[in-house]
């Protein structure tokens, strides 16, 4: 018998957004005795980790993996009985530069990276070694990654290795990103090394991350919760009822429902739009912070071939003016068995909302990227492509600029009983599924505690 206290018994909680944060929060709200109703604007749940099928096999629309240090995600998988479906594989990384592919998996590979002078190869390695051992990350929030790298790695190292990656990841904001963000990425990768595997270990869930999405959906619905897709929120109004109780009216296109509390797991710009009319005047500073956070969108091409293109999993594309930032081979990481011997790849790029990639005809974008891929990898033959799909994601990456820590808003919004939790509040580490489920659990507990009191 379940003897756990149920502080949310009889309470209805609206969860706006069906990504991992929203789904995990809804699952835990149900465990706390509440009734969670998830509103998802898109036709499928899962957010950036939502799934599709390729060659009739489940796979995520955008590449995802887990680090060995992703304790929160590992805990959720275990609680849901999915831990046996997680397997760690040895990663492999290469850098494409000036018409050639260079392995980048060890210090020796860096020593052999001839686009840099020998002295600068040593300098590049020492800078990364230093960052691996930094504990006081706060000092790195005061300087941009570009300035720090130029100062300590040198101009050639920065121009050849780091600047192309920053441009690819952050587009026009590349010179504003805080060094603290890059430190967090390096720390994650270093701490995910596995001696038995002989390098960086990355985890992948059997059947893709949609396996976890489906399980969370089943848990929510099985315990009395509701998930509504194609249900964008048009407004939230807070008011007291006849008994003096504060209620929140959540409106979609053709309906309005009453809730005891609301959890927003949406980008800051969406939260600003939903809450400003009723609450901005009494807390202008909070809303200024919401407006101050910039985002980039993402375009992803997922495709399968019957011939291999590269033996490496992750390819950093460091050629100036490359039409995409990353080329990734899923089957180089997990093998081809579940895809019947075929090979699965992703091409991805981060771009501003107005970029042509966000509105371009999918076949035109595919042709553009395949032309570039063929020039980089002579092994690629477009005739070997068996299936392809193009996906676009809005607000896929927030801009972690210098001083970003001063922009982070509180989880409790100025609207009493309305909460905001999204990946812009993850700091100093980068956003990811591990922190999404961590924060989803924390938000359910916060709501239960507030209502209980």
Using H for helix, E for strand and C for coil, what is the string for 81-149?
CCHHHEEEEECCEEEEECCEEEECCCHHHHHCCCCCCHHHHHHHHHHHHHHHCCCCHHHHHHCEHHHHH
Q: Per-residue pLDDT tens for 222-281?
A: 999 999 999 999 999 999 887 788 999 999 988 999 999 999 999 999 999 999 999 999
Is residue 70 within 8 A of residue 232, CB to CB? The reply is no
How do 261-264 and 66-67 pair as beta strands? unpaired
Report the pLDDT value the prediction gives residue 1, as an integer from 0 to 100. Answer: 46
Closest residue by Cα to residue 169 from 187, 154, 185? 185
DSSP 388: E
Q: Per-residue pLDDT tens for 290-299?
A: 999 999 999 9
Backbone angles phi, psi at 27, to 5 degrees: -60, -45
Helix (H), strand (E) at residue 60 = strand 57-60
| Alpha-carbon distances of 406 from 139, 141, 142, 424, 442, rounded to whole Å | 14, 10, 11, 12, 22
Is residue 347 within 8 A of residue 329, CB to CB? The reply is no
Other CB atoms within 10 Å distance of the CB of residue 77: 22
Assigned CATH topology for domain 295-398: Polyamine Oxidase; Chain A, domain 2 (3.90.660)
Assigned CATH topology for domain 12-47+208-293+408-452: FAD/NAD(P)-binding domain (3.50.50)
Is residue 346 within 8 A of residue 369, CB to CB? The reply is no
Q: Per-residue pLDDT tens for 303-321?
A: 999 999 999 999 999 988 8
Output helix, strand, coil percentages for the chain, rounded to the nearest 5: 40, 25, 35
Cα angle value 193/194/200 (rounded, 5°): 40
Closest residue by Cα to residue 47 from 324, 440, 443? 440
Helices 163-170 & 145-153 angle (0-180, nearest 10):
170
| Alpha-carbon distances of 154 from 107, 149, 171, 187, 236, rounded to whole Å | 18, 7, 22, 21, 51
Model confidence at 195, pLDDT cuts 50, 70, 90, reads confident
2 pLDDT exceeds 70?
no
434 pLDDT exceeds 70?
yes
Model confidence at 76, pLDDT cuts 50, 70, 90, reads very high
219 pLDDT exceeds 60?
yes
Rounded-to-integer distance, Cα 169 and Cα 175, Å: 11
Closest residue by Cα to residue 323 from 362, 358, 360, 357? 357
Q: Per-residue pLDDT tens for 348-386?
A: 999 999 999 999 999 999 999 999 999 999 999 999 999
Is residue 274 within 8 A of residue 236, CB to CB? The reply is yes
CATH class of 104-194: mainly alpha
Other CB atoms within 10 Å distance of the CB of residue 133: 8
Portions of the chain given CATH number 3.50.50.60: 12-47+208-293+408-452
Tell the residue number behind the tokens 């068995």, with chain if given.
337
Portions of the chain given CATH number 3.90.660.20: 295-398
Portions of the chain given CATH number 1.10.3110: 104-194
Q: Per-residue pLDDT tens for 127-147?
A: 999 998 898 899 999 999 999
Per-residue tokens: 111: 């020593």
14 pLDDT exceeds 70?
yes
Q: Could you give the 3-state DSSP secondary structure of residue 179?
A: helix
172 pLDDT exceeds 90?
yes
């Amino acid at each position: 018998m379940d003897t756990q206290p149920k502080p949310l018994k009889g309470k209805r909680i609206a969860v706006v957004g069906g990504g991992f944060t929203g789904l995990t929060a809804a699952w835990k709200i149900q465990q706390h005795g509440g009734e969670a109703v998830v509103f998802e604007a898109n036709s499928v749940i899962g957010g950036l980790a939502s799934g599709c099928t390729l060659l009739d096999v489940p796979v995520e629309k955008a590449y995802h993996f887990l680090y060995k240090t992703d304790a929160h995600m590992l805990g959720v998988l275990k609680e849901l009985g999915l831990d046996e479906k997680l397997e760690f594989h040895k990663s492999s990384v290469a850098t494409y530069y000036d018409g050639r592919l260079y392995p980048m998996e060890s210090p020796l590979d860096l020593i052999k990276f001839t686009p840099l002078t020998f002295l600068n190869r040593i300098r590049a390695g020492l800078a990364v070694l230093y960052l691996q051992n930094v504990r006081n990350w706060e000092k790195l929030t005061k300087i941009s990654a570009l300035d720090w790298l130029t100062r300590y790695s040198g101009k050639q190292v920065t121009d050849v290795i780091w600047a192309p990656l920053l441009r690819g990841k952050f587009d026009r904001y590349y010179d504003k990103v805080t060094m603290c963000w890059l430190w967090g990425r390096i720390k994650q990768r270093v701490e995910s090394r596995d001696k038995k595997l002989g390098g960086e270990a990355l985890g992948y869930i059997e059947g893709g991350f949609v396996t976890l999405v489906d399980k969370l959906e089943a848990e929510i619905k099985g315990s009395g919760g509701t998930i509504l897709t194609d249900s964008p929120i048009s407004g939230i109004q807070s008011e007291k009822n006849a008994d003096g109780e504060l209620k929140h009216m959540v409106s979609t296109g053709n309906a309005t429902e009453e809730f005891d509390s609301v959890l927003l797991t949406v980008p800051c710009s969406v939260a600003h739009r939903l809450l400003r009319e009723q609450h901005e005047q009494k807390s202008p500073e909070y809303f200024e912070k919401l407006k101050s956070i910039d985002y980039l969108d993402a375009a992803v091409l997922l495709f399968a071939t019957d011939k291999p293109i590269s033996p490496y999993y992750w390819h950093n594309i460091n050629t100036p003016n490359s039409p995409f930032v990353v080329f990734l081979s899923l089957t180089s990481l997990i093998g081809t068995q579940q895809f019947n011997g075929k090979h699965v790849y992703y091409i991805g790029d981060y771009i501003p909302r107005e970029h042509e990639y966000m509105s371009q005809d999918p076949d035109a974008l595919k042709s553009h990227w395949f032309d570039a891929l063929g020039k980089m990898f002579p092994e690629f033959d477009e005739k070997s492509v068996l299936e392809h799909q193009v996906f676009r994601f809005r607000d896929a990456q927030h801009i972690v600029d210098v001083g970003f820590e001063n922009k982070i808003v509180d989880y409790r919004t100025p609207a009493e009983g309305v909460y905001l939790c999204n990946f812009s509040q993850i700091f100093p580490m980068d956003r990811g599924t591990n922190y999404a489920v961590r924060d989803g659990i924390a938000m359910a507990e916060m709501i239960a505690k507030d209502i209980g009191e």
